[in-house]
Amino acid sequence: MTLAGLFVPLVTPFTADGGLAADALSGLAHSALTEGATGLVALGTTAETATLSAAERTRVVEICAEACREHNAPLIVGAGSNCTADSIEAVAALSPHITAALTVVPYYTRPSEAGVLAHFRALADASPVPLVIYNIPYRTGRTLGAETLRRLAEHPNIVGVKHAVGSVDDTTIELMRTRPADFAVLAGDDLYLAPLLALGAAGGILASATLATPAFAALVAAWRDGPLDQARSLGHRLAALSTALFAEPNPTVIKAVLAAEGRIPSPAVRLPLLPASEAATSAALAAVRATCPEAVAERDHGGHREYRESKTALENCAAELPAKMLV
């Protein structure tokens, strides 16, 4: 299998008393898929997975899986930790109906690259679904070279990487040059989506897309199909949006904006995260409205269910974005 397109990693909405807001999560899932996302990611970093109970994690996957079934869309589920034995148990327990598992590079213990190879090969051998490696060294403390990623790509059950290294560095360029054709590189840093698409990335896993799905879908399509001058202009605008949404620790600002829009019941996050500041929230709201004003207006005036069921404003937004973004 080859993964491609826009995948939206969903937040986990909480109620005012701190519980899982299941209906709000379902609404976000359906909205993302209606608005142009290729698929969803459940239990990623944006979901605050480390703070969820086992029962909450199960429910999150159930809700996302139901939405993906209705839309015939792929679902990637986060699974694994810095313990190989626990990670094997986690991926082995995944439903074979899930499209792929997103498995993080072992963190904190800082294994050698040979140890990382052995870790992922053990997971891939045990997993009933293909693996997408989550390469995010500024969270894990373990960088991976392009050769290590290429060797991992040789395993038939490792199909891609969420590449979030915080830059477009030498490793990124070498990876894009040497990766197998059927190994998907998915941008994992929202700010660097456009440069990675220009280098040949298959798509992205992007938290910012929760708030501007048509625009991010249009950007992926523009780099694939052209025109490239419009792709570049739109990429610059969306980079500014992502900067605003990541001004404070993720997903605090995204949840604050979703709550302000009435799409989730509360901006609450769980400790050790703290809620986004008023200044960051206001700046992000302005950035969202500047990026896709028609879709925001439809949310404001049409109600969320009607908004999901009517594609008119969304199609207009996606169709007109390139022209709007020319600078």
Residue list for the binding site = 46, 205
Binding residues for pyruvate: 46, 205
Count the Cβ atoms, other than its own, within 10 Å of residue 52. 17
Distance between CA 32 and CA 181 in Å, rounded? Answer: 28
Distance between CA 214 and CA 296 in Å, rounded? Answer: 11
Helix (H, G, I), strand (E, B) or coil at 210: helix
Ramachandran area for residue 145 (φ above 0: left; ψ -120 to 50: alpha; else beta) = beta
Residue count (the chain): 327
Per-residue tokens: 17 = 């008393």
Exposure string over 72-100, b if 16+ CB within 10 A, otherwise e: ebbbbbbbbbbebeebbebbeebeeebbb
Question: Helix 113-126 crosses helix 146-153 at what angle (to 10 degrees)?
Answer: 20
162 is catalytic: yes
Closest CA to 312 of 299, 325, 322, 324: 299
The single residue of 138, 162, 255, 307 carrying the catalytic annotation is: 162
Task: Report long-range pairs for 143-147 (Cβ below 8 Å, ≥24 apart).
Answer: 143/171, 144/105, 144/113, 144/116, 144/171, 145/113, 145/171, 146/171, 146/172, 146/174, 146/175, 146/178, 147/178
The single residue of 108, 134, 255, 311 carrying the catalytic annotation is: 134
DSSP one-letter code for 20: B
Q: Which active-site residues does the annotation give?
A: 134, 162
